[in-house]
Amino acid sequence: QVQLQESGPGLVKPSETLSLTCTVSGGSISSYYWSWIRQPPGKGLEWIGYIYYSGSTNYNPSLKSRVTIPVDTSKNQFSLKLSSVTAADTAVYYCARFWFGELSGINWFDPWGQGTLVTVSS
Amino acid sequence: EIVLTQSPGTLSLSPGERATLSCRASQSVSSNSLTWYQQKPGQAPRLLIYGASTRATGIPDRFSGSGSGTDFTLTISRLEPEDFAVYYCQQYGSSPLFGPGTKVDIK
């Protein structure tokens, strides 16, 4: 079965760029959407964006100016780059597969990675 | 822009009781676009219900979803100890959106 694993620095300085990678195992990254979602400590879930394996993207409007989600199909990986971070970007960052039926509208995030805590602090 | 509201914020119940969680959209949405997740402390969210009422693979039948238009409900018929968690609804229109969550805790 498909499994996802986030990796990257757990501490990022203010104003720098947060970079995380999600490695997909047990299946191909092709033919699906791949997403990043974050959760500040003690708070709810916030969708960051997704990328289709072919490269098309959709980003949360509130983060769009700072977010890039590239995909590397040769490595079965996709990444998150969030620039100009502040303390408000401190969160557990999850990667997840997003399934969306264009005709039905049915959609879900599944499976999810275990999440990785990124703290923004000097 | 659609806003999702979940109520109550916290639901305090005992094992064996019935839990009724509400998710309300600020405007009418397709039932197919509404999804529910369960999240336990320290864990990633788990897919429960998609299309407002279809249980995901492996989800016990004590979980059920219903609703249409702006009002959707997740019902847990008889709470088991492992059901005490936070539940999120999520909707996809032009982009995915999560509700703020309902915490179901032990009374």
Is the CB of B47 less than 8 angstroms away from the CB of A109?
Answer: yes
Is the CB of A110 less than 8 angstroms away from the CB of B101?
Answer: no
Q: Which residues of B touch A46 (CB under 8 A)?
A: 98
pLDDT score, position B62: 98
pLDDT of residue B65 exceeding 90: yes
pLDDT score, position A23: 98
pLDDT of residue B49 exceeding 90: yes
Give the residue among A43, A96, A38, A41 at the shortest CA–CA distance from A67: A38
pLDDT score, position A102: 86
Three-state DSSP state, A4:
strand
What's the rounded mean pLDDT across residues B81-100? 96
Mean pLDDT of chain A: 96
CA distances from B11 to A23, A105, B8 (A): 37, 30, 6
Nearest by CB to residue A100, choosing from B88, B92, B100, is B92
Whether B100 has its CB under 8 Å from any CB of chain A: the answer is yes
pLDDT score, position B7: 97
Q: Which residues of A touch B30 (CB under 8 A)?
A: 105
How large a percentage of chain B has pLDDT more than 70?
A: 100
Q: Give the pLDDT band (50/70/90) at residue B94.
A: confident
Instruction: Give the closest-approach CA distance of A57 to chain B in angstroms.
Output: 11
Among chain A residues, the shortest Cα distance to B29 is held by A105
CB contacts < 8 A, A to B, total 64
pLDDT digits (tens, 9 = 90+) for B10-48: 999 999 999 999 999 999 999 999 999 999 999 999 999
pLDDT of residue A31 exceeding 90: no
What's the rounded mean pLDDT across residues A51-57? 92
What's the rounded mean pLDDT across residues A113-118? 98
Is the CB of B47 less than 8 angstroms away from the CB of A105?
Answer: no
pLDDT score, position B78: 97
Question: With contact defined as beta carbons under 8 Å apart, do B95 and A64 qualify?
Answer: no
Q: Which residues of B touch A110 (CB under 8 A)?
A: 47, 56
Question: With contact defined as beta carbons under 8 Å apart, do A95 and A112 qualify?
Answer: yes
Q: Give the pLDDT band (50/70/90) at residue B103.
A: very high
Mean pLDDT of chain B: 97
Nearest by CB to residue A45, choosing from B32, B54, B88, is B88
pLDDT of residue A108 exceeding 90: yes
What's the rounded mean pLDDT across residues B67-88? 98
